[in-house]
Structure 1
Amino acid sequence: MSISRELDELEREEANCRRCPLWRDATQAVSGAGDPKARLMLVGEQPGDKEDLEGIPFVGPAGRLLDTAMAEAGLRREEVFLTNSVKHFKHDQRGKRRLHKRPNAYEIDRCRWWLTKEFELVAPQLAVAMGATAFRGMASRPGKVSELRGRLLKDVCEVPVYVTVHPSFLLRIRDRGDREREYGRFVRDLKECNRLASA
C-alpha cells in the first residue's frame, strides 16, 4: 500500500477517535496534510476554528502567516507535511464565537498515538515543533520554547526536532516593530529547518 493510501486510512481512523473527550465538541478531527514523502514536517498545536470547520490544517490566520513565512524561507506548502499534535479543536463557546483553549497534558499525550503514526509513515528528515504544545506532543514531556528554540534535538522523539514559535504567537504581538522583528526571526528559523532537512 502506498504512503498516501496509508495516510488516507489513518485519516479515516482519526475521524473515529475517542481517545480523549475533545471529539465531543469539535466538528471533526483534523489530520495532517501535504507531501507524504516530505523531508520536513511542521507540527502545530491544535486546529483552530477555521481548521475545525474545513478539516484542513493551517487554513486560518496563523496558516496564512505560515504560508508567507515559508515562502520567504524557500518552502512551499506542497513540499512539507503539516499537522498538529492534537487533532481536535479545544475551545470555549462565548456566544457565537469559539475561543481557542489550550489542550491539557492528558489530551496532548493521548493524541500522541496519531502523531507517532504520522512520523512512521512520512518519515521526515526533520520535524519542527511550533510551540510548547507541539513540543509536548512530540517529546511526551513539557518544555519551554524560550529555552529550546533554535536547537536541534535528536533524542526527544522518533525524528530530529527543531523548536520554534507557533505563528499564532506572532499574530498576538501588538507592537508593529516587535512583530516584524519576531516574524523575521521566525523566517530565519524556517530557513534553518529547510537547510537541516536538506543536508
Structure 2
Amino acid sequence: MPTKAPEDRYDAAPFVPEDAGLDVLRRAAAECRGCPLHRAATRTVFGTGSTEARVMLVGEQPGDQEDRQGRPFVGPAGKLLDRALAEAGIDPSGAYVTNAVKHFKFTQAEPGKRRIHKAPSLREMTACGPWLAAELALVEPELIVILGATAGKALLGSSFRVSQVRGTVLEEEIHGRPERLVPTVHPSAVLRADDRESA
C-alpha cells in the first residue's frame, strides 16, 4: 500500500519545535503543513499575549479578518470578546488569546466573493493539537476559557457540548497537565443570536 505524501498527513507534531519560546513557536507555526488547511488560508494565525497571562482564551479557528491580519480575535467577535472581558474586570491585554485551529477553513462560492466560515473537522482539530499543547505548556494559565464547541472538542473530546457545561468550572487533564476550564459560547455565536443581550 503506498504511503501518503507529507501534505496528506494530519499531524502538526513534526513542525512543533521542542522547548521553544513563543516567538520561535510562532515562526515555526507559519511553516506548518500538518493538515491541508494551510493551502487555502492566507496565513497562520498563532496566539497572542503574555506567557505570564493568568487566563488563556481558546477560540475555534481564525475568521476572515483574523486570516487576513494574522492575529486572533480582531474581527467583530474579537471586539465583543474585549467588551465582555472588560465587563468582567479582565484587562484583555493581560490574557493570552489563541485558537484551537491555526488556519481559516472556509467555503467560497466564487473567487472574489465572501469567504464563509466552515467548521474544522475533528481530524483537523486533532492535527493542530500539538500547537495548542505547546502554548499551554508555555503560558501555564490558571484558567482556560473555552470559547465555543470546536475549542471544547479540541480540548475535551468529541462528546463535548457547550450547552451542557456553559459557565461551569471543569477540572480536567489536558495534554498531560491538570487544568481548570470554563466553557462558554463563542462570541460569534452571540453576534448571530436573535437576542444578543441574553446570549
Give me the TM-score of the superposition, normalised by structure 1. 0.85
Q: Counterpart amino acid of 2:183?
A: V
The Cα of 1:156 is off from its aligned counterpart by 4.2
The Cα of 1:140 is off from its aligned counterpart by 3.5
For 2:34 and 2:49, locate their aligned partners in 1 and report how far apart those are by CA, in whole Å: 24
The Cα of 1:150 is off from its aligned counterpart by 1.7
For 2:173 and 2:152, locate their aligned partners in 1 and report how far apart those are by CA, in whole Å: 9
- 1:144-198 per-position Cα deviation (integer Å, ceiling 9, x unaligned): 1111112211124132111100000110012xxx21122xxxxxxxxxxxxxxxx
Q: Counterpart amino acid of 1:29?
A: T
The Cα of 1:33 is off from its aligned counterpart by 0.2
For 2:170 and 2:86, locate their aligned partners in 1 and report how far apart those are by CA, in whole Å: 25
The Cα of 1:142 is off from its aligned counterpart by 3.1
Q: Counterpart amino acid of 1:108?
A: M
Partner of 2:128: 111
Fraction of identical pairs, as percent: 50
Q: What are the equivalent positions in structure 2 for 1:1-199 lying under 5 Å apart?
A: 6-95=21-110, 96-157=113-174, 158=177, 159-174=179-194, 178-182=195-199
CA root-mean-square deviation: 1.2
- 1:59-113 per-position Cα deviation (integer Å, ceiling 9, x unaligned): 0010011111111111122100000000000000133210100001000011011
Q: Where does structure 1 lack aligned partners over 5 or more consecutive residues? A: 183-199
SS state at 2:196 partner: helix
SS state at 2:107 partner: strand
Deviates more, 1:57-66 or 1:154-163: 154-163
Give me the TM-score of the superposition, normalised by structure 2. 0.85
For 2:142 and 2:84, locate their aligned partners in 1 and report how far apart those are by CA, in whole Å: 20
Higher helix share: 1
- The ranges of structure 1 where at least 4 consecutive aligned residues each deviate by more than 3 angstroms after the TM superposition are none
8 A contact 1:85–1:133 mirrored in 2? yes
